[in-house]
Each structure stands twice: as C-alpha cells, then as structure tokens.
Structure 1
Amino acid sequence: MTVTVPTDRDMRELGVRLAGLLRAGDLLVMTGRLGAGKTTLTQGIGEGLKVRGPITSPTFVIARVHPSLAGGPPLVHVDAYRLGGFAELDDLDLDASVAESVTIVEWGEGLAEGLADDRLEVIISRGDGPGETREVRIEGVGDRWRDLPADLD
C-alpha cells in the first residue's frame, strides 16, 4: 500500500490509523532519510496505541519503552541510526520484548529484519522541492501481514 501524506498532521493521522492494525508482537522497520517523518509517524502510532509519551526521536538513547495507558501493548521505539550492525542491535535484547510489544525500529533496514519473521516495512520518501508531501509505502512481510488492507481508510 502507498499513501500520499501532504503534512506532518496527516503523517500523525496515518500513524493513528495504522495503530488500529497493530498488536503485541508486531515489528515495524522504518526507512527514510533524515526529516522524512519516521518519528512523526511513530508519534501517531503511539497516540493510536494510547501509550505514555511524549514520543521523541530516540537517537541518543537508542531505545525507549512507552507503556500503555489503556491496557494494550507497550511501544518500543528504537533508533538504529548510530548502531554499527546487527550485533549492536542484538545487544539491546529487543528479541526479549518483541513478543509483548509493538516494536518500531527507525533506520532498521538491513538490521532489524532478524527480530521477527513477520513485519511491516515502512518506506517514507520525501521530495527535494518545497512542501512537506511524502509517499509512505507499507509492505507486509510474513503470514501475519498476508492480508494487509489496500488502504487505511
């Protein structure tokens, strides 16, 4: 599925809608250049999951856990930008929490796929021109996402 996202507000709203599909054990691997909207989308997902915030980029702390305020799964938000490889990601022991949490790994392409057989790959593209319009491509991998809806409306 590909969604055109004109503004930051629309990106957050997409995250809220995406959260409606998520449950404990789900892994999202996000890819996109700096400023593409990965954290903004994660903020919307956190809002939809009703987790404790604020959700900010975890670049300098690598990973943050946001407990649920509504009895749902916690959100584990990881930024793999500064990690040197899978061994450093493995050192975070995320595999111990993936089954109980919704786990989002920004900059996780090529690193986080080994955390779960089933995952959503979220690729955010942003043009070089003026404006904030982005294209968000969401691809399901594995049996869990075989029936991924064609849109989130």
Structure 2
Amino acid sequence: MNTTGAAIASAVVFVWLGMVMAISFLEAPLKFRAPGVPIPVGLGIGRLVFRALNIAETVLAAAVAVTVGAGGPPRSLAVLTGVLVALLVVQLGVVRPRLNRRSDRVLAGEDLPRSRGHLHYVALEAVKVVLLIALGVGLSAH
C-alpha cells in the first residue's frame, strides 16, 4: 500500500472515529440529561442525528474500503477494514431497525421498559471505536 493511500485512509478513519466518539458517547447520552427534554423529544432528535451519522459513516466506510482495497494492503489491514465494514452493516441492518421500531412505539405513546437494544448498540459502538483506532494506527504506521 502506498503512503498516500495509507495517509488518506488513515485520515478518513480518524474523522470517522471522532464522529462516533462525539455523537455516540457524548451527544446521545447527554441529550437525555438536559433539563426539560422529554423522552419523545430526545428520541426524535436522536433519530435525526443518528440517521445523519449513519449516512456519513456509510460514505466514510466506503471511502476507507475503496482506498485500502485499491492499495494492496497487508492482510491485517484488509481484515480490520472488512470487520469494520461488517460491523457497520450489522448496526445499520439489524440493530438500528429494531431500535427504530421500538422508538416508533414510544413516540406513539406506549410506555415501554428500558431497552437492552441500546446496550447492544453501545457495545457495537465500543468495538467499532477499538477497530477504528487499530485501523487508523495501522494505516498511519504503514
């Protein structure tokens, strides 16, 4: 993999990491602690923010995958990239739709107990952060 491609992919990975950290681990939990923000309003805001994040993540993941794939990367970087893309696909294709269905019910007025689905999403976000750091560092060192 050439140094230009590795540098570009690394920069994209660290931008992606910053977005995930800022939104998933800062904005999301804090909005529900803000005074006067009822759960339905927080859910509505969260859906908009996460929809935008997920669109950005999809674009960034595609850019990383194309850049890494085109550069003839070492096997470890190719595997990290593949696992990261697969994790995003699981989040967007399995976990997020379940969370959206649940938030639809809450927004429709149902009183539901706390969801473990959010814990699954947070766990996947934590794994994603570790993978992004590993991939970014690996690309930077290459």
- Answer 1 or 2: higher relative contact order, Cα 8 Å, separation at least 6: 2
TM-score, length-scaled by structure 1: 0.27
**Larger helix proportion of the pair:** 2
Whichever of the two has the greater Rg, that structure is: 2
TM-score, length-scaled by structure 2: 0.29
